[in-house]
Structures are given as C-alpha cells and as structure tokens.
Amino acid sequence: MGIIRLEHVFKRYDDGYVAVQDANLTIEDGEFLVLVGPSGCGKSTTLRMIAGLESISDGDVYIDGDRVNNREPGDRDIAMVFQNYALYPHMTVRANMGFGLKMRGVNDNIIEERVKDAASILSLEDLLDRRPKEMSGGQRQRVAVGRAIVRQPAAFLFDEPLSNLDAKLRVQMRTELSRLHQRLGTTTVYVTHDQVEAMTLGHRIVVMNKGVIQQVDTPLALYHQPVNRFVAGFIGSPAMNFIRGLVGEGNFRAGEFTLSLPSEVTRGAVTLGIRPEDLLLAEASSSHEFSVRVDVIERMGNETIGYFDFDGQSLVARLAGDVALSPGTMTALAIRDANWHLFEAGDEGARIASGHAERHPR
Ligand SMILES: Nc1ncnc2c1ncn2[C@@H]1O[C@H](COP(=O)(O)OP(=O)(O)OP(=O)(O)O)[C@@H](O)[C@H]1O
Ligand SMILES: [Mg+2]
C-alpha cells in the first residue's frame, strides 16, 4: 500500500518565506502523480516534506493513514531519487544498490537477490562491479533508481531525476520509468519542471505556482479545461496565445477581431486564449480572422511554427507542413474548430468560458 495524503500543509522557512501554502492532496495507491511548475514554486519543498527531509510548518502528512510529521525519513517507508543521483563514489554498483538494505540489517542473501532483480529490470547486470565514475550519466541514474527499487518501499519520490541527462537519453529514460511503473505499480510522486515529462508520465498532474496548488487533474483535463490563465499558459508547447480585449454586446473584441460568445459571458476586460495548434491560415472567406504581420517563420519539415504580430500583440501558430510565408508581409489567421478559452484579465485570471465547434457552430 502507498496512499499519501497532505492536509493543509504549509512550509515557512526560517527567514519567514512561505514556500508552500495550504497544500491539500491525496495520492492514491499505485498512482503516478507529477508535481510541475516553474522554478521556485515549491515542488522540491513539497516532496521533501513528504520524504521527511524538511520539517512541516503547519498541517499534516499521512502515509497509509499514519501521521508521519514527526517520523524520521528512514521510518517512512519511501525511497527518494534525486537529480544528482547521490551515489557513493567509492562503492561498486552492487554495493551502492544494496547499501540501504545492509544498513537496515537485511540478510545478505536477500540483498543479493533483490539487487539481481533490480539490475535485470534496469539492464544493469553487466555493470554491477563498476564504480559510478566508470559509468555514463544515464547508467548512474539507473543505479540511483535501482537503489530505490531494492528497498521495495510503499512509494517512490523523484526530484527531477532526468534533468542532468541529454535530450535523447531523457526521452529514453522517461519511457523506461513509465515501463518500470507499469511493472511495479508502486505509488510515485515525481517532480519536474518539464511539462512534456509531466504530460507523458503522470496519471494526474499537480500544477503549482508561487507555493500554491493551482489545479490537480489528468493531463488531458489540464490541457482542455485549465482552471486559470496560469495553468493554460504552463501546459502546452509552444504556450497558449493570450490576447487582451473587451467583452460587450455578446462579443469579444480586440482591434478588428471579433468573436461571438455565449450569452452568460458578462462585459469587461478579459483575455482570450488560443493554442498555437488551434490557429490556421485563414481561407479567403473565413470569418473571425486575425489580420497579422508575419514576424518569424521556423520550418521544421513536418510543421511550421509561425510568429505573428496582431495589433501589437504577438501570436504563435503551429501550422501543418511547410508553409510559404515571408516575414514582413500581411496574412490572416483563423481559429480551428472554434477552440478558444476566455479568462478574467490578469496573469492568473480564472477561466470564464471555452468554445468548441460542437457547441458553437461557426
Ligand atoms: N532553506 C531555505 N530558506 C528560505 N527559502 C528557501 C529555502 N529553500 C528553498 N527556499 C525557497 O522556497 C521556494 C521553493 O523552493 P523549492 O526548492 O521548493 O522550489 P522548486 O519548485 O523545487 O524549484 P526548482 O524547479 O528550481 O527546483 C523558493 O523560492 C526558494 O528560494
Ligand atoms: Mg526543485
């Protein structure tokens, strides 16, 4: 079992800084939960409070129903994997993986067996007699994961375990971690600031900003129904476009652009959000067009990323295939399938409404 619960958890550092504010969260048994958010938002602090490496200023943390606030890290039945691996340099892979068990007085035969199992899961069998400095970054990271596996803990905690690896290895290790979780089914809490890692690994994702949990949801729910502008802008790459404008007489207006809205949307200053993949080059006849000046065109072969200027606001579009557009010229963009979101004004404005072709035919 491995159910982790946070109730009204706060972290106030000695200098008075509040790094985590009123965190409430239940991580289900066997769940892969990802904590994501910009640098400094409190991800590591949250994880370290679960692990017992950081004291809890207020609130409670429960593991399998037991309040663990005052329990030592070693008595919490969880294993943590760090970004910097934290391997013992003078020990072999075998000794590194078995060390935690040895300290607990586990029988040598059992250690040998568990290390062998973990090595086979992680393809480390041929490296068991090497020392950390004789291995690549990816291999070291696997050893760090192996050391967590042999403990057979109730939960794994990962703090940006892949961020020291090059891009290709990171993608490969990401898939391996997914496979590992499918195989072991151990409750996992995984910290990253990489939203692709978050989207691909997480059953559910917790988005944090400035110490506050913004939204806890499945990857696709975060993508389609972000609670506010912060979440909308954080999930998705390139990031969602935001266009400042006004609502009046049932329409959103920004410069020459207008969009008709459902009647419940009231008047005032708002932000319209459109994902880059929901912008396309307008047909001559299409309505709801943005007249834009082409700024920069990036051709990737399979798609073209276009940067445009709309009335002094910048827009980015992900256009299919290779598109012939020249910087400095004018063109028009339209919204695909009427996919849009409307937020209250301001960087953290709440989502007011969303559109989709099925509900609002063009
Ligand atoms: N010992 C400390 N004393 C005071 N403030 C701290 C201390 N440790 C961390 N902080 C602050 O708490 C905030 C949260 O830090 P934390 O390490 O949890 O962020 P993070 O989300 O993990 O960021 P990153 O993605 O950069 O690792 C930061 O603003 C940080 O400066
Ligand atoms: Mg961190």
**CATH code of 310's domain:** 2.40.50.140
* Selection from 212, 228, 216 nearest residue 346 by Cα: 228
Question: How far, in Å, is the centroid of ligand 1 from the Cα of 259?
Answer: 42
DSSP letter, residue 357: T
Q: For residue 360, is it within any domain?
A: no
Domain count, the chain: 2
Looking at the structure, tell me whether residues 21 and 77 fall in a common domain: yes
> Which ligand is closest in space to the CA of residue 159?
2
**Cα-flanking dihedrals φ and ψ of residue 284, to 5°?**
-55, -35
Q: Give the model's pLDDT for residue 263.
A: 75
Ligand 1 binding pocket includes 40 (Cβ within 6 Å):
yes
Same domain, 164 and 61: yes
Same domain, 78 and 139: yes
Alpha helices (H) along the chain = 43-51, 93-103, 108-121, 137-149, 167-184, 195-201, 219-224, 229-234
Tokens of 223: 């993508």
Residue 278 CB contacts under 8 Å (≥ 6 apart), including other chains: 335, 336, 337, 339, 340
Report the CATH number at residue 58: 3.40.50.300
- Ligand found nearest the CA of 53: 1
On whether the CB atoms of residues 121 and 176 are closer than 8 A, the answer is: no
Cα 16 to middle of ligand 2, angstroms: 19
d(CA 148, CA 190): 13
User: What pLDDT sits at residue 358?
Assistant: 64
Our answer on whether the CB atom of 83 is closer than 6 Å to any ligand 1 atom is no
CA 228/CA 194 separation, integer angstroms = 19
- 202 and 287 part of one domain: no
Report residue 264: phi and psi, to 5°.
-75, -10
Q: Does the residue 233 lie in any domain?
A: no
Q: If you measure from the C-alpha of residue 337 to the centroid of ligand 2, how many angstroms do you get, rounded to a whole number?
A: 38
C-alpha of residue 43 to centroid of ligand 2, in Å: 6
The answer to the question of residue 232 being in a domain is no
* 95 and 161 assigned to the same domain: yes
Q: 284 CB less than 6 Å from ligand 1?
A: no
* pTM, 2 dp: 0.92
The reply to whether 134 and 53 lie within a common domain is yes
Among the candidates 193, 224, 255, a domain finishes at 224
Q: Do β-strands 66-67 and 58-63 pair in parallel, antiparallel, or remain unpaired? A: antiparallel
d(CA 41, ligand 1 centre) in Å: 7
- Domain of 120 in residue numbering reads as 4-224
Residue 362, in any domain of the structure? no
Beta bridge partners of 314: 309
Within 164-302, strands assigned E span 187-192, 204-209, 212-217, 241-248, 251-254, 257-260, 268-274, 279-281, 290-299
In this structure, the answer to whether residues 189 and 313 fall within a common structural domain is: no
Q: Is the CB of 34 under 6 A from ligand 1?
A: no
Shared-domain flag, residues 127 and 273: no
- Judge if 39 and 178 occupy the same domain: yes
Q: What is the pLDDT of residue 167?
A: 86
| CA–CA gap between residue 350 and residue 177 (Å, rounded) | 34
Task: Determine which residue's CA is closest to atom 27 belonging to ligand 1.
Answer: 39
On whether both 83 and 24 belong to a single domain, the answer is: yes
**186 contacts 155 by C-beta, under 8 angstroms:** yes
Contact 290, 310 (CB under 8 A): yes
Same domain, 113 and 248: no
Residue 234 covered by a domain: no
Q: Do 190 and 299 reside in the same domain of the chain?
A: no
Going by the DSSP 8-state scheme, the letter that residue 350 receives in this structure is B
Domain presence at residue 22? yes
Mark which of 192, 224, 256 sits at the end of a domain: 224
**Mutation pick for ligand 1 pocket among 21, 36, 39, 44 (CB with most ligand atoms within 8 Å):** 44
286 assigned to some structural domain: yes
Indicate the top mutation candidate among 43, 191, 214 to test ligand 1's pocket, ranked by most ligand atoms within 8 A of CB.
Answer: 43
Query: Quick check: is 229 in a domain?
Result: no
Q: Using CA positions, which residue lies closest to atom 11 of ligand 1?
A: 19
pLDDT in tens, the chain (362 residues): 899 999 999 999 999 999 999 999 999 999 999 999 999 999 999 999 999 999 999 999 999 999 999 999 989 999 998 877 789 999 999 999 999 999 999 999 999 999 999 999 888 999 999 999 999 888 898 899 999 999 999 999 999 988 888 888 889 889 989 999 999 999 999 999 888 999 999 999 999 999 999 999 999 999 999 999 999 999 999 999 999 999 988 899 999 899 988 877 877 999 999 999 999 999 765 666 899 999 999 999 999 999 999 999 999 999 999 998 999 999 999 999 889 999 999 999 999 999 987 644 43
Q: Determine if ligand 1 sits within 6 Å of the CB of residue 132.
A: no
Identify the domain boundary among 167, 200, 224.
Answer: 224
Is there a contact between 19 and 45 (Cβ–Cβ < 8 Å)?
Answer: yes
User: In the prediction, which pLDDT does 286 show?
Assistant: 60
DSSP letter at 137?
A: H
Buried b (16+ CB within 10 A) or exposed e, 116-148: bebbebbebeebbebbbeebeebbbbbbbbbbb
Give me the phi and psi of 150, to 5 degrees please.
-60, -20
Cβ of residue 47 lying under 6 Å from some atom of ligand 1: no
Contacts of 321 (CB under 8 A, 6+ apart): 302, 303, 304
Q: What is the dihedral of CA 101, 105, 106, 109, to 10 degrees?
A: 110
Of residues 206, 258, 252, the one with CA closest to residue 227: 206
